Each structure stands twice: as C-alpha cells, then as structure tokens.
Amino acid sequence: MKRYHYVMTMIGLFFLLFPILFKNPFFHHVVFMLFLYAILAEAWNVIGGYAGQLSFGHALYFGVSAYISTFLFVRFHVSPWIGLILGVLAAAMVGFLVGLPFFRLKGHYFAIGTIGVTEAIRAIIKEWQLIGGAVGIYIPLIPSSFVDFQWSSRIPYYYIGLAFVVSAVYANYKVENSKLGYYLRAIKMNESAALSLGINPLKYKEIAMIISCGFTGIAGVLYAQYTLYVHPDSVMAMSISIDMAIMALVGGAGTILGPIIGAAILIPLNEILKVYIGETGSLHIAIYGVIVMIVAIFQPLGIIVYLEQILRKPVGKGLKE
Amino acid sequence: MDLAFVLQVIISAILMGGVFALIAVGLSIIWGVMEFVNFAHGDFMMLAMYLTLGFFTILGIVPILSLPLTAIILFFLGVGTYQLLIKPVLKGPMVAQIVVTFGLLLFMRNMGLVAFTANFRSLPAEATSVGGLFSGLMNFHGAFIPKTKLVAFVLSLVFIILIDQFFKRTNTGMALRATAQDRKASELVGINVGRMYQLSWGLGVLCVGVGGVLLSTFHYIYPEVGLVFTLFSFIIVTLGGFGSIWGAFVGGLVVGFADVLGGVVLAPAYKFAVAFTIFVLVLVWRPQGLFGGGQS
Amino acid sequence: MDILEIEGLTKRFGGLLANNEISFCVKQGEMLGLIGPNGAGKTTLFNCITGVYRINSGTVRFEGHEIHGAPTYEICHRGIARTFQLIQVFADMTALDNVAVGALLRTNDLGKAQRKALSYLEQLNLVDRQRIFAKNLTLVDRKKLELARALATEPKLLLLDEVASGLNPSEVVEFIRVVREINASGITIVMIEHVMEAVMNIAQRIVVLDGGRMIGEGSPQEIVSDPHVIEAYLGEGYHA
C-alpha cells in the first residue's frame, strides 16, 4: 500500500516540476503529446475498456470538437474556452447518436461500424467548403492570451494538458468505483444476467460513451490550440482512433492507470524510434506495429500486470476479462 | 448520353466488381469460419501485387504464369499468420484480437513503404498482353473494354466458382461450412476446428492474393493500396453477408457500380461517403448482411 | 390477490409450439411448483414471463399490470427476479460484487449496495467467501450466490429455475430450508424443479407442463395421482 502511494506521489511531483527541471522545448513537446494521448487513451478506456465496446472511430469526436472550437474562434472570435465546452458537448452528442444504432453490435461488427461512420463523415468534411474542405482551418498566430487560449511558450499548454490528464484519470477512477462501473462490468461479462438484474445496457453504455467522447473532445480542442491547424486528415485520421485503442491495450484496458501507462510507453518509444531509425521510409512505424502485435499476443491484459506485481497492489477491478 | 457510353459504364462496373468481389471473398471466408475480421486484409493483397511485379521485372515471368506461384505463397502466408499471430491471440480479450491485425497492418504497410517507396507503379503492357493476345481494347457495340480487364474479370469469376464449388462439394469444404455454422457442434462430430481456422486463413489470404494479382494487371501498385481495399471489402462483405461467397459477388458488383458511377455522377470524394453510409445502414439494419448467416 | 396472471400464453419458434395456451395464476405469497418432463417448455415460460422472449399471443399480468412486451430490465424493476438453469453468475467478480450488482438496482450508492450485499451473503451463509471470485466457488456456493444476487434486487416474485439440480441430498435439504425462509419473508416463489423431494415438500400448489401444454394443476397430492401427469412422466401403462 505505502509503496504504491509513494511511487504515485513521486511521479506526480516529477511531472509537476518537469518543465522546470528540463528546459528543452522538444521535451516539453513530447510530454505534451504524451498528455494528449494519455487523455485520449483514458477516454477510450471508458467505452472500450470498461464497457467493452471497441470503438475504432473515436477520432470522429476528436475532430468534431476541434473543428467546432476552431471554427467558432476563427469566424466569430469566440474564446476557445467556450469553444471547449461547446466542442465537448458536441462530441458527446455525436457519440450518443452513434451509440444508439450501434451498441447492439458487438466485437468486430461494432469496430467496423465505427470505422465506417468516421470514414464517411471524414469524406464528407473533406468536401465541406464552409469549414475549409480538405485544406482545413488555420488558427491565426496571436500574442499570448489566456482568453484566446494561445501562448508563445509551450509551458501553459503543458500544465493545462497535465490538469486534463489528471481529470481524465480521476474520471476513470470514479467510473470504476461507481454504480456505472459495476453495471458496465456486469454487462460486459454477461449481458443476459445483467438484464435479469434490471440493468438497461443501452442506457449505461450511452452514459459511458458520453463521458468517453467528452474527454476525447477536450483533447481535440487542446490539439487544435496547440498546433493551430485543423484539417480532416489531422483531426479525424484513422491513426488517432487506432492509437487510442492500442495505448489503452498496451497499458491495460479496463484499468484506471493502464491507458496512461500505455501512452507513457508508446509516445516516447515512438520518438526514440524516430531518432534512431530515422523517419525516412516509415520503418519506425513498422517496428511500432511489431511491438503492438507482440504485446497483443503475449500480454493482452497490458503492461500494468507487471507493474502490479512489482508494486504488489492490484490496480483496479477490471483486469480480468 | 448514348448507348455506347452507358454500356461502357455498365461493363466497366461489372468487370471491376468481379475483381473486387474476389478480393472480398477472402475476408468473407475468414469471417464466416472464425468470426474474425482481418484488418490487414488489403495488405496481403498489396503483397501479392508486388510479388507479381517482382516476378515479372526480376524473373521475367508473366502474371498469368506467376499467378499459381503467388497463390501458393500467399496460402502459406495465411496459414503462417494464423499460427503465429492469430491462434495465440484467440484466447485473449477481444480488444487484443482486433488490435493484433491493426499491428499487422501497420507493419506490412510500412515495410512496404520502406522496401518499395511510396511511388505508384504499374505492370508494363508486355506483362499482361501475353504476346499480343490480350493487348488493346475490345469493341463491344461501341463500348471499349481493355482486354486485360476482361481477362481479369473472367479469371476472378472462375476462381470464385472454384471456391464456391470447393465449399459445396468437397468434404473439407463441408467441414469448413459446418465450423462456420456452429463451432461447438462441429467439434462434437470430430472436426478439427483449429485446422479449419488454419485452412480458412490459408484460403482467405489465397483469395485476396489471387485478387491482387488480377488487380495488378490494371491498377496502380503502391504500399498504401491495401487500406482502401480492406475498407471496400468490409462494405462488400457487409452487403453480401459475412460468410456468403455469392453474396460477396453481388456486393462486389454493387461496389463496382458505385465506384464507376460515383466517379461519373458525383464528386469522387462523395462516393466514398455514400458507399460508407450504405454500409453503415446495412450493418445496423441487418448485421448478417443481405445473404449471410452467422453462428447459430 | 393474484400477483401473477398468465392467460393464453403462446410462444412459437418457427414450427415448434413451445408454450401452448398456458393459463394459470400465482397467488401472492404462495410457493408454486412448475414441473414437467424435459422439453415441456418450463424455462421457455420463465423466459416469456421475464421478457427474454416475445410471446406470440396471450397476456401476462404482474400485480394487475400487463408486462408482456416489456423489456427484461424493466420487468426486474417492477419486482420479478430469477435464477437460471445454467448458472449465470459473473465469473470474474467476487461474490460480494456479484450481489452488489443486484443491490444496485435499488440504490445508487455503491457503499450502501455493498453493505446490503453483505447482509444477503450472510443470509445465504456465504460471508466468509465474499472475496472469492465467483468462478472459483463450488457449484452449491454459486447457486447460493445467484440466489443472493437475485434477492438483492428486492423482488416480490422470484422465479427459480432448477435450483436443486446437481446437488447432493444434504445440499438439497439446505436449499429447501433457504427457499422456505425466503417464501416466509413474503416473497412469492415459482420454482421449476425436477428433484421431486424438493418440490413436493415445499410447494403448496403445482402446475404441470408437457409438450408445451398445461396438463395438470393442483396440490401435490392431487398431481401425484393425476393419470395424465403419470402418463407424461412415465408413459402409458402406469397408474397411481
């Protein structure tokens, strides 16, 4: 018990002080991307890990939110903070709508369906000139401003990202230790038994979906404000959807900290591969693919299983499938 | 709009559709027998295309002769993939089963980029003309049909018929169909389900390989070509039914039409959206497809 | 008062008439036995009552309200709980969590649900096994667990599907005691049973099904001497 809390506190302090300890802006960038994907992986975990509905189209909610806040800011000068709220609401709503017809599908069927929806909408957005079509929307560079959610330094983005990561992890913690979490596990384990206990699967899956898509939407706005450019192939790319799921899996799907561990392993790993192998020819992605296959085969429950053994503390209830 | 144009469109759609169908049949076989979707499906096709290119440019073997070779290679590749990657992951959670083929997709596609670069390539005309026999266009009432496409379509059709007959008339085929219908019952009557899974992968990848060889005779070859055809295959198999071979054929024709007409009538990007919308609707309304059946 | 009224209930699967014009009532607080040879349609009937199957015709009324056509989870909300012929405990959850899921029907507070779950585990003598994963429990304990979980939903009507099957005689005796206690606390029980000692001893009334049809209804003594019932179970040539 004590060892676990000690480790957590040290890690927390480390990330809190990171920008002060390390001044290299590239490191700040990498850690920010880590935070971004940590939020995404934790978000995916709520619907993919806890509810067992394997969505491979989550980039849709990332993109919807990014587009809404960006469009409102560029066209109507609405503060991206308001854009964040609206983007999150929109992402949650779209997710809810997708869930309505699709939650009756399971496993591979659901996965294909979500891929199809996102690809279809991405194809449509590419033609929609109002929001920039295939070119997308650029956010103009402006002097640092909190209201306009833009800074010349990476540090504010870093801390905002960190804050959202903590909230995403906290959300997972709350989900796991609540009626919702118990019900989702029941539905995942044995839906007909769950039905006989008065559980409405669609209702609880939708609640999980809203939470999941909402946090995905947060990441979308963060990304938009950080890169200052949204276009269909950057914010609705299939690779985003796939990476979210991969990170949750590699770390440990269905656990509180698994997804963040997955992001913490794969993002820096990717950067290291890029440095040592070079970005030419995409060999680093091929190797990434091999690593994914290896983890999927040899430790599908995630790296967290090993950490659990080291710290000798079970890190969540959803570990067993 | 004259008859010749309409005829051209229709024939073009049918020819494309036939080849699409063969590619999709491979996905359908694996899905039908194992209820497993291979997201790296199109990447095996990509491999077959490059093999065909290699056989010709390096060894001078024309596609029509290298086809059986490529087919055999891909069959064993399919079996090997099952043994190495799929069989171990079947005992794990569903998320691992899906992610493992995504990992394979990333690996194959990007190794393709490393080995071949992103350049679009195509088979030179000498490769497909077979000494002038299949070169040039055929004139059918004013519609001009490239002979290579016609050959590709005919061979696709032949192959689909062969596969279909295999499933219907051979003992192994029947065993595969039994496994597709009811895994437990098949085990109880002594069918080696593991062997069936292995075989389904071999056959499935073989089909997509042959489809790839045929496709390479008139389509660009590049490492990322796989994904588009994987998605197309999803649509085709969803329309036609997971596990139904002639359903895949019908689905292939539908997508062939959508592809050709879409290019003609709508903006090319919209046809993708339309195809996916139809696909999503069918998936939701009738998950087993218009013809297919699932596990009982 | 009749807590459950079934009238003309018919369920067809293609050409098979699994339930054919079943009609009977269950009085509040009683213990009703549902017996019949294998394939008679008993579990199908339970599935029809709980909304797992959609009935083809007839009505099902619970506490005066029509419930046929309602989704299963809503029927549970109204107060009908059940156990399954093939035990459906949540294998990868602890015994406590299993029952907690049941208890969460009536409360949103996880802590409260866990405390209530504990009391149900006590009632069924499973407290010392509360942290064991359900898949590691013995058959008897899993049956008890499923029962505790169903009780945690605070049902007014409990449908038990072959609770006694697979148990040795002393375990059957214990289950009879437990079921009697549950009934005594005011919960109406309908139990499907093959184990005759179980059902004949505690049921106040019995309904007999055979080939989808009701072929007998009455007290245990009446049923035992009913020639139709005897024929159904043992074939022609036998009599009381």
Neighbours of chain A (3+ CB pairs under 8 A): B, C
Residue B185, in any domain of the structure: yes
Q: Between B121 and C99, where is the model more confident?
A: C99
CA angle B174, B175, B176 (to 5 degrees): 90
Cβ separation of A117 and B267 shorter than 8 Å? no
C151 → chain A, closest CA residue: A197
Cβ separation of A102 and B85 shorter than 8 Å? no
Residue C178, in any domain of the structure: no
Q: What is the model's pLDDT at position C72?
A: 95
User: What is the extent of the structural domain holding A59?
Assistant: 25-236
Which of chain C's residues have a Cβ under 8 Å away from the Cβ of A194?
101
pLDDT tier at A283, thresholds 50, 70, 90? confident
Q: What is the model's pLDDT at position A242?
A: 94
- Over 50: is that where the pLDDT of B295 sits? no
Same domain flag for C224 and C105: no
Mean of the per-residue pLDDT values of chain A: 90
Cβ separation of A178 and C110 shorter than 8 Å? yes
Of A120, A253, A291, Cβ closest to residue B95: A253
- Over 70: is that where the pLDDT of A293 sits? yes
Cβ separation of A289 and B104 shorter than 8 Å? yes
Q: What is the model's pLDDT at position B151?
A: 85
Give percent of chain B above pLDDT 90.
Answer: 31
Q: How much is the average pLDDT of C120-125? A: 92
- Over 90: is that where the pLDDT of A56 sits? yes
C to B contact (≥3 Cβ pairs closer than 8 Å): no
Q: What is the model's pLDDT at position A213?
A: 98
Asked if residue A296 lies in contact with residue B100, where contact means CB atoms within 8 angstroms, the answer is yes
Residue B294, in any domain of the structure: no
Q: What is the model's pLDDT at position B262?
A: 66
Q: What is the model's pLDDT at position A58?
A: 97
Q: Is B22 left (phi over 0), alpha (psi -120 to 50) or beta?
A: alpha
In the structure encoding, which two tokens stand for residue A237, read together? 């790319």
Residue C26, in any domain of the structure: yes
| CATH assignment at residue B118 | 1.10.3470
Residue C75, in any domain of the structure: yes
Which of chain B's residues have a Cβ under 8 Å away from the Cβ of A115?
231, 234
Does residue A2 sit at the C interface (CB-CB below 8 Å)? no
Which of chain A's residues have a Cβ under 8 Å away from the Cβ of C110?
177-179, 182
* pLDDT tens digits, one per residue of B162-193: 988 888 888 888 888 888 888 888 888 888 88
Cβ separation of A56 and B36 shorter than 8 Å? no
Does residue B269 sit at the A interface (CB-CB below 8 Å)? yes
pLDDT tier at A318, thresholds 50, 70, 90? very low
Q: What is the model's pLDDT at position A244?
A: 95
Q: How much is the average pLDDT of C100-126? A: 94
Cβ separation of A192 and C52 shorter than 8 Å? yes
Q: How much is the average pLDDT of A294-318? A: 79
How close does chain A come to B165, measured CA to CA in Å? 28
Chain A to chain B, count of Cβ pairs less than 8 Å apart? Answer: 142
Residue C170, in any domain of the structure: no
| Close Cβ partners of C184 (under 8 Å, ≥ 6 residues apart) | none
Cβ separation of C72 and A196 shorter than 8 Å? yes
Q: What is the model's pLDDT at position A320?
A: 43
Mean of the per-residue pLDDT values of chain C: 91
pTM as predicted: 0.89
Residue A189, in any domain of the structure: yes
Residue B291, in any domain of the structure: no
Does residue B276 sit at the A interface (CB-CB below 8 Å)? yes
Does residue A195 sit at the C interface (CB-CB below 8 Å)? yes
Q: How much is the average pLDDT of C52-77? A: 94
Cβ separation of B110 and A54 shorter than 8 Å? no
Q: What is the model's pLDDT at position B292?
A: 47
User: What ipTM does this complex have?
Assistant: 0.91
CA distance C183 to C181: 5
Q: For chain C, what is the domain count?
A: 2
* pLDDT tens digits, one per residue of B12-37: 888 888 899 999 999 989 988 888 88
Residue A5, in any domain of the structure: no
Q: What is the model's pLDDT at position C126?
A: 92
Which of chain A's residues have a Cβ under 8 Å away from the Cβ of C113?
179, 182
A:51-80 residues touching chain B, CB 8 A cutoff: 52, 54, 56
Residue B235, in any domain of the structure: yes
Cβ separation of A127 and B280 shorter than 8 Å? no
- Over 80: is that where the pLDDT of B201 sits? yes
Residue B292, in any domain of the structure: no
Of C73, C97, C133, Cβ closest to residue A182: C97
SS3 C216: strand
Q: How much is the average pLDDT of C113-123? A: 95
| CATH assignment at residue C217 | 3.40.50.300
- Over 60: is that where the pLDDT of B257 sits? yes
Of C50, C77, C92, Cβ closest to residue A320: C92
* pLDDT tens digits, one per residue of A125-163: 988 888 888 888 999 888 888 888 889 888 999 999 999
> Quick one: A318 exposed, middle or buried, by C-beta within 10 A (0-12, 13-18, 19+)?
buried
Q: For chain B, what is the domain count?
A: 1
CA distance A68 to A83: 7
- Over 60: is that where the pLDDT of C239 sits? no
Residue A53, in any domain of the structure: yes
Q: What is the model's pLDDT at position B288?
A: 57
Residue A155, in any domain of the structure: yes
Q: What is the model's pLDDT at position C207?
A: 93
Which of chain A's residues have a Cβ under 8 Å away from the Cβ of C108?
179
Q: How much is the average pLDDT of B78-102? A: 92
Residue C67, in any domain of the structure: yes
Of B95, B96, B114, Cβ closest to residue A282: B114
Same domain flag for C122 and C138: yes
Q: How much is the average pLDDT of A39-57? A: 96
SS3 B287: coil
Residue A67, in any domain of the structure: yes
- Over 80: is that where the pLDDT of C39 sits? yes
A291 → chain B, closest CA residue: B103
Same domain flag for C74 and C101: no
Q: For chain A, what is the domain count?
A: 1
CA distance B238 to A98: 18
Query: How far lies C238's CA from each of A92, A259, C192, C227, in Å?
Result: 68, 67, 24, 8
Which of chain B's residues have a Cβ under 8 Å away from the Cβ of A56?
98
Mean of the per-residue pLDDT values of chain B: 84
pLDDT tier at A319, thresholds 50, 70, 90? very low
User: What is the extent of the structural domain holding C204?
Assistant: 1-79+156-165+186-240
Pairing of strands C157-161, C188-192: parallel
| Close Cβ partners of A206 (under 8 Å, ≥ 6 residues apart) | A96, A99, A100, A103
SS3 C215: strand
Strand order through the sheet with C31-35: C80-82, C157-161, C188-192, C31-35, C205-210, C213-218
Stretch among A91-100, A147-156, A299-308, B265-274 having the lowest mean pLDDT: B265-274
Of A115, A286, A300, Cβ closest to residue B110: A286
Same domain flag for C57 and C98: no
Q: How much is the average pLDDT of A300-311? A: 86
In this structure, what are the phi and psi dihedrals at residue A184, rounded to the nearest 5 degrees? -65, -40
Q: Between A59 and C228, where is the model more confident?
A: A59
User: What is the extent of the structural domain holding B42?
Assistant: 3-285
Which of chain A's residues have a Cβ under 8 Å away from the Cβ of C73?
195, 197-201
Same domain flag for C39 and C127: no
